[in-house]
Chains A and B, each alone.
Chain A
């Protein structure tokens, strides 16, 4: 148990680090720039560079893996998410869907680079994205159906009035919950993933430390356990690579679903 005595301290350090403390200003002031904001801005620049580089190289005959990869993702979002979920008239929602997917996926992937943080690893960023989506699909629904019809259509059709009112209230709450679930789902996945990876990394180090400080049979035995932690860390890292893409996809897919629901019938 000796090696684990330092664990709480390290975990607290990890959590503090994942808190992404302020780089400029202080956490108490109204405006400050945190590490997450910086990584989010870096991701935004990377996204701009990728899109404009791809745009510049677009040709009738596709050339190069980079352009092919970008094209593949664009086509995937367009066909599977846009056409598949929204269907007719999906074209005008494509810029939002594509920007959301690419922005989130780039943030998530940057977060996987050791030493970097995912811009999506904080509620501030994910809530901003969720809010844009929330306003977007509601605005679209109101534009499509008219304000009155849109509000009325929150509840189900063909139900007696008392029941309609009850369900309408529940549906209204569920509508606003979308804002929160979208933001929390993405944030929690990124945050939890990084905590788990961080913990495994800490455990690997902790179990290895006795061997470095003084070589003994006992220390060697403890160090072998760190191989297990290392393997877990690698497994977790691989899974986080999947999660990075899946969560971006889920966010984009739900955006498309909400847009298609807001369109009405």
Chain B
């Protein structure tokens, strides 16, 4: 671990120092022992131990009561708040997605409905249009037929009237030409003669 490597380099430095000291003078080692070095260093001095013990216990008491719990509590509170917020955000996200999906479905439904309505309207319109057209055609045909009938009837009547009046007029014209009215026997003779002439004409 890093602690180990640090200690390792420290050992290196100390050995470097030792070699320098050895070069300088052997007096150091002696002086060290005189100056309370060596094992004496490892014996705790009461004068340092007691104040340290008391100071540390007092620190532990004060910080353990009024320091750390408040800081740790605040950190916990923050963590709880963040967790809560995240959970709420997640719940909100899910709810929003649900609502969005719902709205999408509704929109799709509305769209389909609208399309249906338009299609229905179109087909109804088409039907009405063709019905109206058919009716109009029928009526027109009927009117034409009636008109034709009326024309036919009037034509027939006109022909009949014309025929009657032609015969009368020709009879009267012939009578006036001849100067007298033809008797039936004469009339017959005239027609026969006419037919014979017509027949001879045909023979030619």
A-side interface residues toward B, CB under 8 Å?
1, 4-5, 7-8, 11-12, 15-16, 19-20, 22, 25, 27, 29-34, 36-37, 40-41, 44, 47-48, 51-52, 54-55, 58-60, 62, 70-71, 74-75, 78, 91, 94-96, 98-99, 103, 119, 122-125, 127-129, 131-132, 183-184, 187, 189, 191-193, 195-196, 199, 203, 232, 236, 239, 242-243, 246-247, 249-250
Once the chains bind, are B24 and A60 in contact (CB under 8 Å)? no
Q: Which of B56-71 contact A (CB under 8 A)?
A: 56-60, 62-64, 66-71
Q: What separation, in Å, do the CA atoms of A129 and B57 have in the docked complex? A: 9
- Asked if B6 is at the interface (CB within 8 A of a chain A CB), the reply is yes
Q: What separation, in Å, do the CA atoms of A98 and B81 have in the docked complex? A: 24
**What distance in Å separates the Cβ of A12 from its nearest Cβ neighbour in chain B?**
5
Q: A44-B59, A94-B68 are in contact. Are A19 and B35 (CB under 8 A)?
A: yes
- Asked if B75 is at the interface (CB within 8 A of a chain A CB), the reply is yes
Q: Is the interface of B mostly helix, strand, loop or mixed?
A: helix
Number of A-B contacts (CB under 8 A): 191
**What distance in Å separates the Cβ of B69 from its nearest Cβ neighbour in chain A?**
7
Report chain A residues within 8 Å CB of B27. Answer: 8
Once the chains bind, are A33 and B31 in contact (CB under 8 Å)? no
Q: A203-B20, A239-B6 are in contact. Are A123 and B45 (CB under 8 A)?
A: yes
Q: A37-B52, A58-B71, A75-B75 are in contact. Are A47 and B59 (CB under 8 A)?
A: yes
B-side interface residues toward A, CB under 8 Å?
2-3, 6-7, 9-10, 13-14, 17, 20-21, 23-25, 27-28, 31-32, 35-37, 41-53, 55-60, 62-64, 66-72, 74-75, 77-78, 81
Q: What separation, in Å, do the CA atoms of A103 and B17 have in the docked complex? A: 30
**What distance in Å separates the Cβ of A250 from its nearest Cβ neighbour in chain B?**
5
Which of B37, B56, B57, B75 has the largest count of A CB atoms less than 10 A from its CB?
B56
Q: What separation, in Å, do the CA atoms of A96 and B68 have in the docked complex? A: 10
Once the chains bind, are B71 and A51 in contact (CB under 8 Å)? yes
Known A-B contacts: A33-B51, A36-B48, A55-B67. Give 7 more (CB < 8 A). Answer: A8-B25, A48-B67, A51-B67, A94-B72, A99-B59, A129-B56, A239-B9
Which of A36, A62, A94, A99 has the largest count of B CB atoms less than 10 A from its CB?
A99
Once the chains bind, are A127 and B63 in contact (CB under 8 Å)? no
Q: What separation, in Å, do the CA atoms of A103 and B55 have in the docked complex? A: 10
Q: What separation, in Å, do the CA atoms of A152 and B187 have in the docked complex? A: 172
Once the chains bind, are A184 and B60 in contact (CB under 8 Å)? no
Report chain A residues within 8 Å CB of B2. Answer: 242, 246
* Cβ contact of B28, chosen from A11, A123, A129, cutoff 8 A: A11
* Cβ contact of A40, chosen from B32, B43, B52, cutoff 8 A: B52
Report chain A residues within 8 Å CB of B52. Answer: 37, 40, 119, 124-125, 127-129
Q: Is the interface of A mostly helix, strand, loop or mixed?
A: helix
**What distance in Å separates the Cβ of A135 from its nearest Cβ neighbour in chain B?**
10
Once the chains bind, are A48 and B63 in contact (CB under 8 Å)? yes
**What distance in Å separates the Cβ of B143 from its nearest Cβ neighbour in chain A?**
91
* Cβ contact of A123, chosen from B42, B60, B68, cutoff 8 A: B42
Report chain A residues within 8 Å CB of B71. Answer: 51, 54-55, 58, 70-71, 74
Q: What separation, in Å, do the CA atoms of A32 and B35 have in the docked complex? A: 18
* Cβ contact of A132, chosen from B17, B21, B31, B56, cutoff 8 A: B56
Q: What separation, in Å, do the CA atoms of A193 and B10 have in the docked complex? A: 7
Report chain B residues within 8 Å CB of A5. Answer: 24-25
Q: A52-B67, A119-B52 are in contact. Are A19 and B36 (CB under 8 A)?
A: yes
* Cβ contact of A196, chosen from B13, B47, B49, cutoff 8 A: B13
Residue of A nearest to B37 (CB): A15
Report chain A residues within 8 Å CB of B48. Answer: 20, 34, 36-37, 40, 122-125
Once the chains bind, are A7 and B25 in contact (CB under 8 Å)? yes
Once the chains bind, are B47 and A32 in contact (CB under 8 Å)? yes
Report chain A residues within 8 Å CB of B31. Answer: 8, 11-12, 15
Report chain A residues within 8 Å CB of B64. Answer: 95-96, 99
Q: What separation, in Å, do the CA atoms of A95 and B51 have in the docked complex? A: 20
Return 16 A-B CB contacts under 8 Å, by A number: A8-B28, A12-B32, A19-B35, A30-B46, A31-B46, A51-B67, A52-B66, A59-B74, A95-B63, A125-B52, A127-B52, A187-B42, A189-B7, A195-B14, A196-B14, A239-B10
